[in-house]
Structure 1
Amino acid sequence: MTSEPIQTSLSIKLDAKQTLHLRYIAKESAQGPCVFFMHGAVENGKIFYTHTNKGLAPFLARHGYRCYVADLRGRGESKPVICSDAQYGQTEAICEDIPAFINKIQEHSGQFPRFWIAHSWGGVLLNCAFARFPQYIKQVSACAYFGSKRTLVNRHPSKFLKGNVFWSWLGAKYTKKHGYLPAKRLKWGSDDETQKSHAQSVQWVKPNPWVDSDDNFDYGAFLKGKALPPTLHIAGVKDKALAQPVDIERFIKESGIGISELNVYGRRYGHKHNYGHIDMLTHPQATRDQFQDVLNWFARYG
């Protein structure tokens, strides 16, 4: 029996046109707890793994966890890819894609995924899912969010450039021109975004009420006073634009009253590397720093 994790692709037929992709990563005959992974904007599930078993999902799989890494519709290996005809956005990701992934995990493993992990905007989507489907809350033992924030309130110049100029202003122009945001071609990320998804994220990234543009569901109002699963929040010292501690702390405050811990990762805090928004998940030294802390967090609350 190999000690290395084995990877398998699972397909979910969402409707006549859309098929979701879920990557299963686990040791042969593994029976450990299930972990659900959600990527962020202009991304796909590959932020958590490579086919050669690098990344957070294979790391946890080596420790006995059964890992399920999602590709939201149109991203990664989900089909078809995003184009100007794509009419879906964040509301569909929250209300349709995430429940479909959860159902598939239960069908495949016989268990509800007890641990949830997200990168960047993926943490917002998962907390939205907790609000829309509150029955999930008591079924999840713990979460770990890497660089997750909703609003950007830090005042670093790179935040103004990346957030205000590129994402909000230029992004709107590109989506109007192409009918979607060609982020991969622009080298803004590893995947594209639909026009609706981009517009909804632009609305939320400003310090406005956390309300869905489709049906006015108020996520912030629902989560106020709710205790979400214990969540470890991870920030990188070099992540100046997209998720500074002040941004993450604001997200924590509007996500209920559950147990939360925010750790910042960099050499000044005794870590092996000064981590940024992407390499907090991809740097080789992460296995000795934040990955180990995620493992300990899950053990504490599992």
Structure 2
Amino acid sequence: MTHSQGSEFIDYRSGQLHLRVLIPKESPKGVVLMVHGAMSNGRVFYSSGGRGLGCYLADQGYQVYVLDCYGHGQSHPPLAHREEHGQYEVIHEQLPLVHKLLLERHHQPVHWVGHSWGGVLMIAALARYPSLLAQIPTLTLFASKRTVRSWSSERLLKIELAWKRLFPWLGQKLGYLPLQRWRVGMDDQSTRFLMDSLPWISDAHWLDEMDGFDYGEAARELVAQGRWPATWFLAGAGDKALGNPRDVKDLMQECGLDGMARYQVLGRRQGWRRDYDHAGILTHRDAAHELYPDVLSWLQSPQWRADTPAGSQG
């Protein structure tokens, strides 16, 4: 490990947001912001021992900031009974706040990287606040989907039964979802976040739960204007429900990026060592060897249009 690590805390509401800062040995070649998904936290991107995509990029000379959204990871306070914040606050407050801080600090563009639902929230923030677009050269999305249309036994268990039925009932009863205690997810989740996400998973139109803003329409307009950053959608062939390749492709098409973004499925049929699953696309040791170098190349020289062999397109 050739980088150093530290933690930074940003005052936010009645608590603090946590940023894990991964600092390269020499002057940074660029700046990266990483955001986790639901039931998760920033450690999907790094470890104290130097594993993870964030650590790899820091070793390669990038200054990496990994956000723990409010109530997750080391952000304070931890989730507790009757939380009143959800995905709306990530889109409208937390992402713009952190991005502004990084711009003021480094005076250079910031690459955005999201995993799972974190990527959906990143797209929503850019569609809602297009002034951010000129400051973001690349948007890299791992297993990010909005709607869940593909069918599998895993979808029936994790989405239809747990996320749509059991978790809302438990969340209303307990005030939040103590998922770590139940050993279901990487982190706990607020009930309001869960309830905010339910229409997005199922509805044809991607509308803001507060004011009806149409995120899909806004993203398509910005893409048509040529203002959207170079975007790469990655999906694991072994991801059956939480980031199924078909659902990931649906998100790309919904944003008007079909043929205008890089789309890649990571599986044996496409020449990869394994059929990567939802977390393994970032955390598996094979990903460190065969995928991380591609991410580095992408940040250094992004391609707007799909540029991988036909067999890799899924």
TM-score, length of structure 2 as denominator length: 0.91
Equivalence for 1:9: 7
Q: Within the alignment, does 1:267 sit opposite 2:264 as a pair?
A: no
In structure 1, which of residues 45, 50, 72 is the aligned counterpart of residue 47 of structure 2? 50
Which residue of the partner structure matches residue 38 of structure 2? 41
Aligned-partner SS, 1:77: coil
The residue type equivalent to 1:12 in the other structure is I
Given that 2:39 and 2:179 are in contact with CA atoms closer than 8 Å, whether structure 1 keeps it comes out as yes
In structure 1, runs of 5+ residues without a counterpart are none
Alpha-carbon shift at residue 278 of structure 1 (Å): 0.6
Measured against aligned partners, the alpha-carbon deviations of 1:17-61 in whole angstroms (never above 9, x if no partner) come to 120001110213432110010100000000000011100001111
The correspondence of residues 1-302 of structure 1 with structure 2, limited to 5 A, is 4-15=2-13, 17-113=14-110, 115-227=111-223, 228-257=228-257, 259-301=260-302
Q: Where in structure 1 do 4 or more consecutive aligned residues deviate above 6 Å? A: none
- Structure 1: which amino acid aligns with 2:53? L
Instruction: State the alpha-carbon separation in 2 of the partners of residues 170 and 108 from structure 1.
Output: 43
CA contact (8 A) 1:14 1:100 kept: no
Question: TM-score scaled to structure 1, two decimals?
Answer: 0.94
1:226 match: secondary structure: helix
Distance 2:229 2:32 in 1: 14
What is the letter of the counterpart of residue 247 of structure 1?
D
State the one-letter code of the partner of 1:7.
Q
Distance 2:64 2:282 in 1: 15
- Corresponding letter in the other structure for 1:6: S
The residue type equivalent to 2:63 in the other structure is R
User: Secondary structure of the residue that 2:5 maps to in structure 1?
Assistant: strand
CA distance in structure 2 between the partners assigned to 1:105 and 1:85 by the alignment: 32
Q: Distance in 1 between matches of 2:69 and 2:256?
A: 25
> Which secondary structure state, in structure 2, belongs to the residue aligned with residue 61 of structure 1?
helix
Q: How many residues align?
A: 298
In structure 1, the residue corresponding to 2:222 is in which secondary structure? coil
Instruction: In structure 2, list runs of 5 or more residues that go unmatched.
Output: 304-314
Distance 2:161 2:82 in 1: 26
Secondary structure of the structure 2 residue equivalent to 1:170: helix
CA distance in structure 1 between the aligned counterparts of 2:30 and 2:39, rounded to whole angstroms: 29
Distance 1:256 1:134 in 2: 16
| SS of alignment partner, residue 225 of structure 1 | helix
Amino acid at match of 1:138: A
Q: CA deviation at 1:207?
A: 3.2
Counterpart amino acid of residue 3 in structure 2: P
Superposed CA RMSD? 1.5
After superposing the two structures, state which structure 1 stretch, 179-188 or 116-125, moved more.
Answer: 179-188
